[in-house]
Amino acid sequence: MSAKLANPTDATAAGLGAHRSVDRPAPLTAARFWTLCALVTLFALALRLPTLASRSLWLDETYSAWFAAVPLHELWTSVPLYETHPPFYYTLLKGWTALFGTGEVAMRSMSVLASVLTVFLLPACARLARLGARAERVALLAALFLATNAYSINFAQQARPYGIQALSGSLAVFFSAMLVLEFVRPSGRLRTWTIGLALSTGVTMWLHNTGVFAALGIWTGMVVALLLCTSGPRRTQVLAVGLAGIGALLVWSPFVPMLMKQSAAMAKLSYWIQFKPSNTIAAWSVISGAPIMHYPVALLVLAGFAWLWKHARAHFWHLGCVLALPILALAAYSFLLKPVFLSRLFEWLAPLGMVLLALGIHALRPRWRLPAIAVILALSAYSVVNFYRSQTENWRETLAQLRQESRPGDLVLAFPNEIQMPVAYYMKPGTGPAVTYLPGPFPALGLERTYTGNSGAPNIAPEDAARVRALAEGHRRVWLVERLANLYDPDDIVMKELGSRYRLVKKIDGIGAVIRLYELP
pLDDT in tens, 229-243: 998 789 999 999 999
Same domain, residue pair 92 and 76: yes
- pLDDT computed for residue 15 by the predictor: 47
Q: E strand or H helix at 453, and its extent?
A: none
- d(C-alpha 326, C-alpha 323), whole Å: 7
> 328 and 344 share a domain?
yes
Q: Which of 149-153, 228-232, 388-392 bottoms out in mean pLDDT, i.e. has the lowest?
A: 228-232
Query: Do residues 330 and 437 both lie within one domain?
Result: no
Name the β-bridge partners of 413. 436, 480
> Cis omega before residue 416 (within 30°)?
yes
Which of 106-115, 177-186, 212-221, 426-435 is least confident? 426-435
Same structural domain, 212 and 273: yes
pLDDT (tens digit per residue) in 48-94: 999 999 999 999 999 999 999 999 999 999 999 888 899 999 999 99
| 399 and 385 both lie in a single domain | no
Residue 325's domain comprises: 3-389
How many independent structural domains does the chain possess?
2
Burial of 450 (0-12, 13-18, 19+ CB in 10 A): middle
Residues 399 and 488 in one domain: yes
The torsion defined by the Cα of 72, 74, 80 and 85, in degrees rounded to 10, comes to -40
- Of the residues 389, 413, 436, the one at which a domain ends: 389
23 pLDDT tier (thresholds 50, 70, 90):
low
Answer yes or no: do 157 and 300 share one domain.
Answer: yes
Residues 59 and 84 in one domain: yes
Single out the residue of 288, 307, 309 nearest to residue 365, CA to CA. Answer: 307
What is the overall mean pLDDT for the chain? 92
Domain boundary among 362, 389, 416: 389
The residue out of 389, 408, 433 marking a domain boundary is 389
Convert the pLDDT of each residue in 31-42 to its tens digit. Answer: 999 999 999 999
Q: Is 284 helix (H, G, I), strand (E, B) or coil?
A: helix
Q: Note whether 351 and 443 are same-domain residues.
A: no
pLDDT of residue 274: 84
> Can you give the pLDDT at residue 8?
36
Query: Is 70 exceeded by the pLDDT of residue 12?
Result: no
